[in-house]
Amino acid sequence: MKDKTILLTGGTGSFGQMFTTLILEKDIKALRIYSRGEFAQYEMQQQFTDPRLRFFIGDVRDKSRLSRAMTDCDIVVHAAALKQVPTCEYNPIEAIKTNIDGSVNVIDSAIDNGVEKVMAISSDKAVSPINLYGATKMVMEKLFVHANSYAGNNDTKFSCVRYGNVMGSRGSLIPLLLKQKQLGKVTITDERMTRFWVALNDVTQFAIDCIDMMKGGEVFVPKLRCSSVADMVDSIAPECEREIIGIRPGEKLHECLITQEEARHTREFETYYIVEPELSFWNKSEGKEVPDDFCYTSAPSRSD
């Protein structure tokens, strides 16, 4: 990262603010925050006063503005997205314009500006998706993996980081439970439901590490802990009354980070997996092959 100029889309979100905190500890040249929200940027400017920080109002849907913001950038981290499942279900065209068309704009602008590395932030919802948000993230991953072929003689490299639920992020379970705890009653969709969990600082540092490691085309998946939603309630609000409200549209009972089909081109490392691209240019990385029937899921094993 030394002397690098970095552009971060969606930079005022939970991931963006933690990324800013961690990356400013490094000897970078500049960090450009690219997002739509004027007030969110104003608040972030009050929090961070580092002179290496720049703020750009813009939308990933706007290719010309995005390309201008990316001028002379070395690294791009693409975290901008519509990510609330109900919002994407109710506004599907808007989700496609931001999450898919916006990703295409990031790819094209990065290639046109000669950016060295581009890392996209994905989700476990992209794996065997059953909701529109997950489907847009699946398409985004495909776009970024195959963007390495579009780059041609340009040296721009594209990769993705895929992870589970971030504890404490905006709109997630833990803030909801803490709010409901004050009322003495919490709502649970299904006590059998399980999820992968990761701390925001851990997954952000993982993404930074992956930028250093990436060759182009990988999907990096950290090894995460998982638990049931009921266990989370037991930890946060054990004394509260529980109301079972049922699984909402677009939700899964269990999540998956690597499918059995992906196992054929997945390598295991000590703290993470790499889903390798099925592209002709790719040389297999170091790491251990996983079994053909491997599936990285939050569901309890049969032995449990």
- Report the C-alpha gap between 158 and 107 in whole angstroms: 8
- Report the C-alpha gap between 267 and 105 in whole angstroms: 30
- Report the C-alpha gap between 227 and 94 in whole angstroms: 32
- Report the C-alpha gap between 101 and 177 in whole angstroms: 34
- Report the C-alpha gap between 255 and 193 in whole angstroms: 9
How far lies 192's CA from each of 103, 187, 198, 230, 254, in Å? 35, 14, 19, 7, 9
Tokens of 152: 């041609």
Question: Which residue in 117, 125, 137, 157 is the catalytic one?
Answer: 125
Burial of 47 (0-12, 13-18, 19+ CB in 10 A): exposed
Q: How far is CA 230 from the centre of its chain?
A: 25
Q: Is 83 a catalytic site residue?
A: no
The phi, psi pair for 251, rounded to 5°, reads -100, 150
Catalytic annotation, residues: 125
